[in-house]
């Protein structure tokens, strides 16, 4: 149980650091947020839990494919904000866009021979 608390605390601290840095410097906060720190932590936790190199390789490859449909959110969200759409509607619409692109990705990848 303490292992789960440590994992949750480290992950939470990471999010807190990003939000605090972004409050002072949006660009630097964005840089930190763009680093694959959560993915690296996930890989470390998975290695500690399983020591299964194939599972970790599959996880890393899946992460790559799921990053791609999430990227348009980071263009659509600020564009909506800059065009007068409120924060919450912009966030919801951006998340819906991402969910739609995830669905498209899940449908498309097997058709081109990529199994996740």
The pLDDT of residue 4 is: 87
pTM above 0.75, yes or no: yes
Q: Which two tokens stand for residue 74?
A: 């980071």
Residue 16 CA to residue 26 CA, distance in Å, equals 14
Distance CA 64, CA 76 (A): 20
The two structure tokens encoding residue 93: 């619409």
Q: Exposed, middle or buried: residue 94 (CB in 10 Å: 0-12, 13-18, 19+)?
A: buried
Q: What is the pLDDT of residue 33?
A: 86
Q: List, run by run, the mean pLDDT of 10-residue segments along the chain (116 residues).
A: 85 90 92 86 92 95 94 97 98 98 96 92
Residues ≥6 apart with Cβ < 8 Å to 105: 65, 66, 68, 69
């Amino acid at each position: 149980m303490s292992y789960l608390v440590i994992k949750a605390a480290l992950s939470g601290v990471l999010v807190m650091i990003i939000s605090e840095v972004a409050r002072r410097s949006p660009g630097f906060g964005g840089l930190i947020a763009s680093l694959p720190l959560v993915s690296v932590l996930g890989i470390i936790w998975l290695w500690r839990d399983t020591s299964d190199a194939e599972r970790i390789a599959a996880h890393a490859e899946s992460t790559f494919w799921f990053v791609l449909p999430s990227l348009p959110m980071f263009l659509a969200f600020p564009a909506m904000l800059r065009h007068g759409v409120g924060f919450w509607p912009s966030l919801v619409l951006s998340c819906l866009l991402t969910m739609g692109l995830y669905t498209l990705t899940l449908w498309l990848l097997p058709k081109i021979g990529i199994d996740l």
